[in-house]
Amino acid sequence: EFHQRAASEYNLQEKIIKELQGELQKQKLLAKFQNQSKQLKIEIQNKEMLAQEKTAKNQRLIIYSMVGGFIFFLLLLIIIIKENRQKKKANRLLSEQKKEIETQASQLLMVNKELDKLSIVARETDNAVVIANPEGDIVWVNEGFIRLYGYTMDEFIAEKGKTLAGAASNKDFDQLMNNCIESKKSHTYSALTETKNKEKIWVQTTLTAIFDKQGNIKNFVAIDSNITKIKKTEKEIKELLQTAVSQRDQIQEQKQEITDSILYAKRIQAAIFPNQELINQLIPNHFILYRPRDIVSGDFYWINNIEGVTVIAVADCTGHGVPGAFMSMLGVAYLNEIILKEYITHTGVILKRLRKEVIRSLHQHGKDDSTKDGMDIAMIAYNEKTGEVQFSGAHNPLYHVRAGELNVIKGDKMPIGIYDKMDKFTTNELKVEKGDQLYMFSDGYADQFGGPKGKKFKYGAFKRLIKEISDKDMEEQNKLLGRKLDDWQGDYEQIDDILVMGIKV
């Protein structure tokens, strides 16, 4: 039993030992395996590290290659861009140079053309052209110089000297040359000189200094023109001017004498017209617009009273100025004789007698007589007591205004003078009332040119104007008529004598 137990324990211990040995063996194997695994893992890790290092190295090589390639590409790009810019710059410079060359070629062509023109001018002109160097020595003359003076350049230098100053006919030439240099402008002078044939000629010289780009004198150019004919013409003009001045003075003296005579004639004409005192006495309420075109007038008015009848005439004689004035004085003289001496107050008879005297005085014969001198006239005979008015007219009418209404009483269509058919003058009779207004006039007002279109004023406008102003007093009517005439006439000349008479009953 003890042996059994001991054997059992021994067996158990042996079993345990074997198990322990087995376990130890397992542990050794496991340790060995783990060690080998670690070694293998280390080897794998080493291989992986080597592979990673190799990969990293390869990557670095690739990166370095790429960076190097990029840097190379960048450098290459910079070089290409730089070369391209240089090429563009070179092309631009070439283009600019080409344009400059083309411009210079064009300018050179123009210069050559101008030189050709100047060459033709210098060769063909009759003016003498002389070119001198900066010292003033003559170096070239054109063919015009030879034609003008008769000298070749060598002949001229041999006789007159080689300098412009020495050859010039103007004693102040040196001063003129200095003025050209200082002002850098051309200077012109005239001088009397002599040709090779000893002919005296007048020459106008234009002296010009030519400068280079630096402002230094390059040449002097003198251009001589033959102005002998001009000088002769100037002399003739001067003589003619002196003659004209003398004649002008004579004409002015004659004009002054004529003007003085006309002014004296004006005083005579004014003396034969009715004086203002008589007019105011016979027709207190009236106006007279009287504007002669010249100093004396062919229009006239006449007024006087015979046995209670006031006879008034407004006449327009043929012509104006002195001829018209003579005719007006003739008319006044005959009216004085017919009315004041013969006591005739019948208007139709007065005009018939007046026509007869005018025809006789002017020696007019037959209806085809070329002398058509005479007058147009409007005449009234007013009896203040009865209010009766007679009117007769040779061409000219009478305007009768009552309460703003205008009535035209026409005159006969024949003048005071020779005419184709000389009938009796019509005697129109009318009764006037207080406040009525009568107007007689010549054709000067209606025939005056003016206005925006430069046309005549005309009788229609004149009639409307009379009607418009008829409500004003006589003095105001006179002012309005004068103002309207001035406005209408403007800058136009007065073409005829103007006479308008207004009477308020």
Of residues 13 and 490, more confidence is placed in: 490
Give yes or no for residue 116 having a pLDDT over 60: no
3-state secondary structure at position 96: helix
Distance, CA of 464 to CA of 425 (rounded, Å): 28
Mean pLDDT along residues 103-113: 68
Of residues 353 and 170, more confidence is placed in: 353
Nearest Cα to Cα of residue 292 among 394, 396, 442, 439:
442
Which structure tokens are listed for 318?
């043929």
Residue tagged 């305007």 (tokens): 399
Distance, CA of 409 to CA of 426 (rounded, Å): 11
Nearest Cα to Cα of residue 304 among 385, 381, 394:
381
Distance, CA of 188 to CA of 206 (rounded, Å): 4
How would you classify the pairing of strands 128-132 and 455-456? unpaired
pLDDT value for 475: 97
pLDDT band at residue 75, thresholds of 50, 70 and 90? confident
pLDDT value for 407: 97
pLDDT band at residue 24, thresholds of 50, 70 and 90? low
| Mean pLDDT of all residues belonging to the chain | 87
Distance, CA of 357 to CA of 363 (rounded, Å): 10
Give yes or no for residue 118 having a pLDDT over 60: no
Number of helices (H), then strands (E), in the chain: 11, 17
pLDDT value for 371: 58
pLDDT value for 257: 85
Which structure tokens are listed for 424?
């009796």
Mean pLDDT along residues 120-132: 77
**Which residues, other chains included, contact 353 with Cβ-Cβ below 8 Å and sequence gap of 6+?**
334, 338, 342, 344
**Which residues, other chains included, contact 357 with Cβ-Cβ below 8 Å and sequence gap of 6+?**
334, 337, 338
Distance, CA of 158 to CA of 463 (rounded, Å): 92
Contact 316, 376 (CB under 8 A): yes
What letter would DSSP give residue 321? H
Distance, CA of 114 to CA of 121 (rounded, Å): 10
What letter would DSSP give residue 458? -
Strand partners, 455: 450
pLDDT band at residue 200, thresholds of 50, 70 and 90? very high
Of residues 73 and 335, more confidence is placed in: 335
Q: Please state which of the ranges 36-40, 79-83, 369-373, 409-413 shows the lowest mean pLDDT.
A: 369-373
Mean pLDDT along residues 68-96: 80
pLDDT band at residue 87, thresholds of 50, 70 and 90? confident
pLDDT value for 43: 75
pLDDT band at residue 429, thresholds of 50, 70 and 90? very high
Contact 312, 501 (CB under 8 A): yes
pLDDT in tens, 294-343: 888 899 999 999 999 999 999 999 877 788 888 999 999 999 999 999 99
Contact 416, 355 (CB under 8 A): yes
The beta strand positions in 114-174, using DSSP E, are: 128-132, 138-141
Mean pLDDT along residues 349-361: 95
Mean pLDDT along residues 172-197: 88
Contact 305, 284 (CB under 8 A): no
**Which residues, other chains included, contact 291 with Cβ-Cβ below 8 Å and sequence gap of 6+?**
444, 485, 494, 497, 498, 499
pLDDT band at residue 490, thresholds of 50, 70 and 90? very high
pLDDT band at residue 493, thresholds of 50, 70 and 90? very high
Query: Helix %, strand %, coil % for the chain, to 5?
Result: 55, 20, 25
pLDDT value for 491: 94
Mean pLDDT along residues 265-277: 87
Mean pLDDT along residues 157-177: 84
pLDDT in tens, 386-405: 999 999 999 999 999 999 99
pLDDT in tens, 444-474: 999 999 999 999 999 999 999 999 999 999 9
Give yes or no for residue 368 having a pLDDT over 90: no
Distance of CA 95 to the CA centre of its chain: 48
Mean pLDDT along residues 22-35: 71
CB atoms within 10 A of CB 334: 21
Give yes or no for residue 112 having a pLDDT over 60: no
The length of the chain is 505
Strand partners, 407: 400
Distance, CA of 351 to CA of 362 (rounded, Å): 16
Distance, CA of 285 to CA of 70 (rounded, Å): 123
Distance, CA of 6 to CA of 27 (rounded, Å): 29
Q: Which amino acid is present at 468?
A: E
Mean pLDDT along residues 343-361: 95
pLDDT value for 470: 96
pLDDT band at residue 64, thresholds of 50, 70 and 90? confident
Distance, CA of 136 to CA of 190 (rounded, Å): 19
Q: Which amino acid is present at 78?
A: I
First to last CA, the chain: 204
Q: Please state which of the ranges 188-192, 221-225, 257-261, 333-337 shows the lowest mean pLDDT.
A: 257-261
Contact 486, 470 (CB under 8 A): no
Q: Please state which of the ranges 12-21, 237-246, 344-353, 491-500 shows the lowest mean pLDDT.
A: 12-21
Of residues 230 and 76, more confidence is placed in: 230
Angle at 166 between CA 162 and CA 167, to 5 degrees: 75
Strand partners, 309: 306, 383
pLDDT band at residue 20, thresholds of 50, 70 and 90? low
Q: Is 0.75 surpassed by the pTM of this model?
A: no
Mean pLDDT along residues 370-395: 91
Distance, CA of 37 to CA of 41 (rounded, Å): 6
Sign of the CA dihedral 271, 354, 429, 471?
Answer: negative
pLDDT band at residue 121, thresholds of 50, 70 and 90? low
Distance, CA of 151 to CA of 124 (rounded, Å): 17
Q: What percent of the chain has pLDDT over 70?
A: 91
What letter would DSSP give residue 433? -
pLDDT value for 140: 92
DSSP H/E element including 17: helix 2-124
Question: In the β-sheet with 428-431, what is the strand arrangement from edge to edge?
Answer: 299-306, 309-317, 375-383, 388-394, 428-431
Distance, CA of 497 to CA of 324 (rounded, Å): 9
Which structure tokens are listed for 267?
């005083």
